[in-house]
Structure 1
Amino acid sequence: MAVKGFAKTEIEQLADKLEAQGIVDDKRYANTLVRSQIAKGHGPARIRQSGLQKGLSKSCVDTAINVADCDWVALARQRVQKKYAVTNDPLDSKERARRIRHLLGQGFSYEQIAAALDYDPYE
């Protein structure tokens, strides 16, 4: 199969050569992607999905996520505070569910969300 007039073997050889020279580096790209996604307030699941969609391997993305020095609970809390008005009043179940859905969509786990919203999910 040819892509724009190039044979697949030619493309693979060039990609291998660029990788050997350090011009193309999936680990560096994954680390940059993770930092960028954290800055946007995204959680680990959404970051993992983004990396996989960009063609990175699962192990490469997971390593970059694990290496990132991020407090996921604090990030989830910041995300909620930015999106919703912060009150000291206890949340009713409808509002809590709304915030949980938002954080799930941003890629945070149930444990991270429960800690960020300061509630016991088993109550």
Structure 2
Amino acid sequence: LSNPLFSSNYIDRELRKDLAHHHRETVCFNRNVANGMMRLSLYLLGHNYLKPFRIRAHKGTHPRTHAEAAGIPVHLVQHFVQALTGGIRAFLSRCTLSETMRRTWEKRWKTPGKTKAEYIPKYALA
């Protein structure tokens, strides 16, 4: 935990462990970059907001999720999870996203060697 690169090394290890296209072998890669970014975003969302945090810094209680361990208040984490799983549909026009997340949502990541545009349903851009 005292290593300044701990968080970077940790997420790299988790990605390589859990996602097949992130293994160290040379034949493992995403065939479609936009879909790979979608999977990565969903993986990080699940890791940060749903997966239990199991590293104990002190005896006694510890944060329930990785987001709480990072300092995000419990009520915000619960609100975010409820918004995601509560059956309320997210609309792009009602969301404020970073440029990276907007690019992922709109599948604007370019796959080398692919000339055809990604298929995006009209309702995804509403």
**TM-score, normalisation: structure 1:** 0.27
Q: Which has the higher helix share?
A: 1
Of the two, which has the highest radius of gyration?
1
TM-score, length of structure 2 as denominator length: 0.26
- Greater relative CO (CA pairs within 8 A, separation 6+): 1
